[in-house]
């Protein structure tokens, strides 16, 4: 994992390199200006003392114009960032610091409107094909394992960051608050209402009765009932007790099985109808009976205030935390293995299912515009606010480090182009003057 200190050191090293290259370009541009001045001085001197040399005026004209071009471009470049020679009375100098707020606002608006325009972002998403790329990347087992490692590191960090007392108090406050204020009666009534739709509760009753019937038909269940009844019979001899218990158990089980069979076979059986009325009445009470709802709410509050619930939740958290810590420390962590395996399987399935990829991409395209429209102004505002926070010398230093070296080429070009223009003007003036 890359640390913040490493990022800062890297950024410092990059800035030092940019500063060094800027200084070299400034030195080169200054040297070219000094060279033009030296050539102009020598050409002027020798032209005055050696008028017989016809090419000296051309060199002097080139050097003179080169100096003018170099000085003009030096002034223009310096005026962007500061006052040339510290002369503050010269208008329109230190342009960037003086107009920092306006530049920041324009830059924020430009980035917001050009780089984060909704249709532009959507086109990038379409070209990127996120579902296919993600599936293809995670379909490689090594990448799925890396994701498993990342998940393990995340879980480990979370466990180390959470304080046990804070977690216990949070769980106690959250769970008990939900238990105390949760409308359990309404939820239970809605669930039962859903279960009774189209007589689904009768199908549930059928399943329950079949289960009871299957259980009673097991020999071991019958044997347990025999022993239980035998122990309750007031008989002295054990053989008589067992015989009596067996007869009684067989009669009772046979009677119950006969009753269950009748209920299963008859949709209008009285007990089935009683069950239907009981469920219907319970739903009505849960939804609309104030006294019934009040008793449930009282039970919820008592449960929420019970210290045993807090201890139980804390025990659950402790057991889970210890198990997870132990598992995450193992080289063959089951969490890591399961996360990697599930990720790999899902990615393989998605990689081979183009229809699902298109559906996922369509959902992203559909969900993106509202998010873009919501957060795009914030991006522009963030850029504007950040630039306005910088001090004048900070913004000058940042911009000069990143574009100052390229601006020195303006000075170099100004020196050479100025010299060439000056030479051409001198040539034309000689031609026109005869």
CA distance 385 to 111: 13
Region 271-286: mean pLDDT is 74
Stronger pLDDT, 168 or 393, i.e. the higher one: 393
Region 242-269: mean pLDDT is 75
Same domain, 206 and 308: yes
**361 within 8 A of 130, measured Cβ to Cβ:** yes
Structural domains of the chain, count: 2
Flag whether 307 is in a domain.
yes
Flag whether 427 is in a domain.
yes
Stronger pLDDT, 284 or 425, i.e. the higher one: 425
CA distance 414 to 292: 92
Cβ atoms within 10 Å, residue 411: 26
Same domain, 173 and 42: no
Cβ atoms within 10 Å, residue 345: 13
What pLDDT, on a 0 to 100 scale, did the predictor assign at position 261? Answer: 75
**412 within 8 A of 29, measured Cβ to Cβ:** yes
pLDDT of 306 higher than 60: yes
Same domain, 312 and 406: no
Find tokens 């399943």 and name the residue: 207
CA distance 285 to 281: 6
Same domain, 180 and 295: yes
269 burial via Cβ count (<10 Å: 0-12, 13-18, 19+)? middle
CA distance 332 to 327: 8
pLDDT of 14 higher than 80: yes
Residues 6+ apart with CB under 8 A from 39: 59, 62, 63, 66
Handedness of CA 361, 363, 366, 370 (dihedral sign): negative
Same domain, 315 and 171: yes
Of the listed ranges 156-160, 357-361, 429-433, the least confidently predicted one is 156-160
Residues 6+ apart with CB under 8 A from 38: none
Q: Name the domain boundary from 327, 347, 372.
A: 327
Of the listed ranges 123-137, 226-240, 307-321, the least confidently predicted one is 226-240
Same domain, 90 and 239: no
pLDDT of 221 higher than 90: no
Nearest to 79 by CA among 67, 62, 96: 96
Same domain, 395 and 314: no
Region 173-192: mean pLDDT is 68
Domain holding 61, by residue range, is: 15-98+390-433
Same domain, 204 and 301: yes
Flag whether 365 is in a domain.
no
Confidence of residue 312 (pLDDT cuts 50, 70, 90): confident
pLDDT of 58 higher than 70: yes
Flag whether 9 is in a domain.
no
Same domain, 172 and 59: no
Residues 6+ apart with CB under 8 A from 275: 201, 202, 205
Region 159-167: mean pLDDT is 67
DSSP classification of residue 90: S
Same domain, 307 and 414: no
Distances (CA, A) of 129 to 123, 134, 367, 428: 10, 9, 15, 63
What pLDDT, on a 0 to 100 scale, did the predictor assign at position 3? Answer: 55
At residue 89, φ and ψ (nearest 5 deg) are -80, -15
What pLDDT, on a 0 to 100 scale, did the predictor assign at position 237? Answer: 46
Q: Output the CA torsion 16→17→21→24 (10° steps).
A: 60
Widest CA span of the chain, in angstroms?
A: 156
Handedness of CA 372, 373, 375, 376 (dihedral sign): positive
Same domain, 304 and 213: yes
Flag whether 128 is in a domain.
no
Q: Name the domain boundary from 327, 347, 365.
A: 327
Stronger pLDDT, 321 or 240, i.e. the higher one: 321
Flag whether 371 is in a domain.
no
Flag whether 47 is in a domain.
yes
What pLDDT, on a 0 to 100 scale, did the predictor assign at position 328? Answer: 83
Tokens matching residue 129: 């094909």
Query: DSSP string spanning 233-295?
Result: S--SSHHHHHHHHHHHHHHHHHHHHHHHHHHHH-TT-HHHHHHHHHHHHHHHHHHH-HHHHHH
CA distance 232 to 244: 10
Residues 6+ apart with CB under 8 A from 206: 264
CA distance 96 to 269: 92
Query: DSSP string spanning 372-396?
Result: HHHHHHHHHHHHHHHHHHS-HHHHH
Residues 6+ apart with CB under 8 A from 221: 215
Same domain, 268 and 193: yes
């Amino acid at each position: 994992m890359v640390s913040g200190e490493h990022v800062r050191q890297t950024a410092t090293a990059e800035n030092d390199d940019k500063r060094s290259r800027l200084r070299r370009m400034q030195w080169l541009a200054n040297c070219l200006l000094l060279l033009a001045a030296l050539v102009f001085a020598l050409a002027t001197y020798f032209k005055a003392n050696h008028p017989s040399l016809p090419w000296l005026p051309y060199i002097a004209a080139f050097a003179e114009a080169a100096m003018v071009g170099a000085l003009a471009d030096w002034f223009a470049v310096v005026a962007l960032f500061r006052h040339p020679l510290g002369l503050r009375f010269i208008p329109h100098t230190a342009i960037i610091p003086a107009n920092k707020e306006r530049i920041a606002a324009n830059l924020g608006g430009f980035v917001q409107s050009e780089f984060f325009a909704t249709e532009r972002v959507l086109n990038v998403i379409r070209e990127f094909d996120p579902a296919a790329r993600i599936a293809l990347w995670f379909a490689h087992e090594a990448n799925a394992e890396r994701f498993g490692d990342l998940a393990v590191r995340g879980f480990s960090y979370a466990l180390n960051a959470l304080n046990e007392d804070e977690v216990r108090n949070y769980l106690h406050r959250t769970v008990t608050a939900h238990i105390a204020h949760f409308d359990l009666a309404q939820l239970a009534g809605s669930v039962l209402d859903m279960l009774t739709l189209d007589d689904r509760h009768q199908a549930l009753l059928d399943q329950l009765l079949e289960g009871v019937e299957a259980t009673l038909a097991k020999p071991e269940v019958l044997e347990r009932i025999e022993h239980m009844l035998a122990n309750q019979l007031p008989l002295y001899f054990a053989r008589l007790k067992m015989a009596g218990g067996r007869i009684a158990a067989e009669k009772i089980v046979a009677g119950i099985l006969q009753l269950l069979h009748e209920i299963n076979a008859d949709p209008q059986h009285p007990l089935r109808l009683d069950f239907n009325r009981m469920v219907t009445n319970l739903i009505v009470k849960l939804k609309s009976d104030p006294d019934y709802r009040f008793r449930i709410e009282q039970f919820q509050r008592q449960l929420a205030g019970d210290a045993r619930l807090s201890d139980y939740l804390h025990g659950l958290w402790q057991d889970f935390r210890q198990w997870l810590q132990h598992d995450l420390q193992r080289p063959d962590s089951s969490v890591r293995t399961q996360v990697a395996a599930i990720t790999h399987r899902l990615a393989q399935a998605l990689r081979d299912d183009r229809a699902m990829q298109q559906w996922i991409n369509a959902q992203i395209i559909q969900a993106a515009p509202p998010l873009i429209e919501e957060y795009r102004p914030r991006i522009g505002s963030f850029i504007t606010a950040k630039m306005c926070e910088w001090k004048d010398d900070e913004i000058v230093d940042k911009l000069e480090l990143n574009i100052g070296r390229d601006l020195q080429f303006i000075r170099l070009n100004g020196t050479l182009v100025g010299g060439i223009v000056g030479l051409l003007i001198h040539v034309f003036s000689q031609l026109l003057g005869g």
